[in-house]
Chains A and B, each alone.
Chain A
Amino acid sequence: MKPLNILIISLLCAAIAFIAPASAAPADVTVISSSLDPTVLMKGDTGTLTVVVQNNGADPVAIRNARLYGSGVVPLSDPYPSVGELGAGNSKTFTFTVRADGGEGTFYPQFVLDFRDAGSLRYPIPVQVENTPLSASVIAKPDAFAESRTADITVRVGNPRPNAASGVQVIPQGSGFTVTPTGGFIGALAPDASGMVTFNLTPAAETDVTFQVVWRNGINTHTADLVLPVAFGEDKKQADPVITNVEVTPIAGGYRIVGDVMNAGLESARSVLVTPGSPATPIDPFRVYVVGTLDPDDISSFEVTFKADAGVEEIPVIVEYRDDDGNRYTATTPVGLGGTTAAPLEEPEDGGFPVAGLLVVVLIALGVAGAIYYSWKRT
Chain B
Amino acid sequence: METGFLRVLFEPGRFFEARMQDRPSLKIPALIAVVMGLIGAVSVIPMTDLTMAMLPAEMQGLGVIMTIIFAAFAFAGGFLAWIIYGFVFHLVSMIFKGQGDLERTMEFTGYGLLPQVFGGIIGTYFSYRLLSGLNVPPMTNPEQIAEFSENLVSVLATDPLAQIAGLVTILFTIWSANIWIFGMKYARNLSTRDAVLTVGIPVGLYILYMLITLAGWL
A residues whose Cβ falls under 8 Å from a Cβ of B: 249-253, 310-311, 338-346, 348, 352-354, 357-358, 360-361, 364-365, 368, 371-372, 374-376, 378-379
Q: How far is the CA of A253 from the CA of B179 in the complex (A)?
A: 38
- Which residue of the partner chain, among B14, B130, B151, B168, contacts A341 with CB atoms under 8 Å? B151
- In the bound complex, residues from chain A placing their C-beta under 8 Å from that of B164 are 354, 357-358, 360-361
B148 at the A/B interface (Cβ < 8 Å)? yes
- Which residue of the partner chain, among A346, A354, A364, contacts B168 with CB atoms under 8 Å? A364
- Which residue of the partner chain, among A358, A360, A375, contacts B11 with CB atoms under 8 Å? A375
- In the bound complex, residues from chain B placing their C-beta under 8 Å from that of A358 are 164
Those 3 A-B pairs whose CB atoms lie nearest each other, nearest first: A343-B135, A252-B159, A310-B135
Contact check, B148 vs A342: say whether CB atoms are below 8 A apart.
Answer: yes
- In the bound complex, residues from chain B placing their C-beta under 8 Å from that of A340 are 137, 139, 144-145, 147-148, 151
User: In whole Å, how far is B194's beta carbon from the nearest beta carbon of chain A?
Assistant: 16
- Which residue of the partner chain, among A339, A353, A372, contacts B144 with CB atoms under 8 Å? A339
User: In whole Å, how far is B97's beta carbon from the nearest beta carbon of chain A?
Assistant: 22
- In the bound complex, residues from chain B placing their C-beta under 8 Å from that of A372 are 174-175, 178
- In the bound complex, residues from chain B placing their C-beta under 8 Å from that of A375 are 10-13, 178-179, 182
User: In whole Å, how far is B128's beta carbon from the nearest beta carbon of chain A?
Assistant: 12
Interface pairs (22), CB distance under 8 Å: A250-B155, A251-B155, A310-B137, A338-B147, A338-B151, A340-B137, A340-B145, A341-B137, A344-B155, A345-B133, A345-B134, A352-B160, A354-B160, A357-B164, A361-B167, A364-B171, A368-B174, A372-B178, A374-B10, A374-B11, A375-B11, A375-B182
- In the bound complex, residues from chain A placing their C-beta under 8 Å from that of B160 are 252, 348, 352-354, 357
B residues whose Cβ falls under 8 Å from a Cβ of A: 9-14, 115, 122, 126, 130, 133-137, 139, 144-145, 147-148, 151-152, 154-155, 158-161, 164, 167-168, 171-172, 174-175, 178-179, 182
Contact check, A365 vs B171: say whether CB atoms are below 8 A apart.
Answer: yes
Q: How far is the CA of A339 from the CA of B145 in the complex (A)?
A: 11
- In the bound complex, residues from chain B placing their C-beta under 8 Å from that of A354 are 160-161, 164
Contact check, B137 vs A357: say whether CB atoms are below 8 A apart.
Answer: no
User: In whole Å, how far is A351's beta carbon from the nearest beta carbon of chain B?
Assistant: 11
Contact check, B130 vs A345: say whether CB atoms are below 8 A apart.
Answer: yes
User: In whole Å, how far is A337's beta carbon from the nearest beta carbon of chain B?
Assistant: 10
- In the bound complex, residues from chain A placing their C-beta under 8 Å from that of B134 are 342-343, 345
- In the bound complex, residues from chain A placing their C-beta under 8 Å from that of B174 are 368, 372
Contact check, B13 vs A345: say whether CB atoms are below 8 A apart.
Answer: no
Q: Which of A249, A250, A253 has the most CB of B within 10 A?
A: A250
- Which residue of the partner chain, among A341, A368, A379, contacts B148 with CB atoms under 8 Å? A341
Chain A: CB-nearest residue to B138: A339
- In the bound complex, residues from chain A placing their C-beta under 8 Å from that of B133 are 344-346
User: In whole Å, how far is B101's beta carbon from the nearest beta carbon of chain A?
Assistant: 24
Chain B: CB-nearest residue to A343: B135
Chain B: CB-nearest residue to A344: B155
Contact check, B171 vs A343: say whether CB atoms are below 8 A apart.
Answer: no
Besides the known contacts A364-B122, A375-B13, 9 further A-B residue pairs in the complex with CB atoms under 8 A apart: A250-B154, A252-B159, A252-B161, A253-B159, A338-B147, A340-B148, A360-B168, A365-B171, A374-B10
Chain A: CB-nearest residue to B1: A378
Q: Which of B10, B136, B145, B182 has the most CB of A within 10 A?
A: B10
Given the contacts A252-B160, A364-B122, A379-B13, A345 and B155 also touching, CB distance less than 8 Å:
yes
Given the contacts A251-B154, A252-B158, A348-B160, A378 and B10 also touching, CB distance less than 8 Å:
yes
Q: How far is the CA of A365 from the CA of B115 in the complex (A)?
A: 12
Chain B: CB-nearest residue to A359: B164
Q: Which of A251, A340, A361, A378 has the most CB of B within 10 A?
A: A340
- In the bound complex, residues from chain B placing their C-beta under 8 Å from that of A339 are 137, 139, 144
- In the bound complex, residues from chain A placing their C-beta under 8 Å from that of B158 are 251-252
- In the bound complex, residues from chain B placing their C-beta under 8 Å from that of A251 are 154-155, 158
- In the bound complex, residues from chain B placing their C-beta under 8 Å from that of A343 are 134-137
User: In whole Å, how far is A133's beta carbon from the nearest beta carbon of chain B?
Assistant: 72
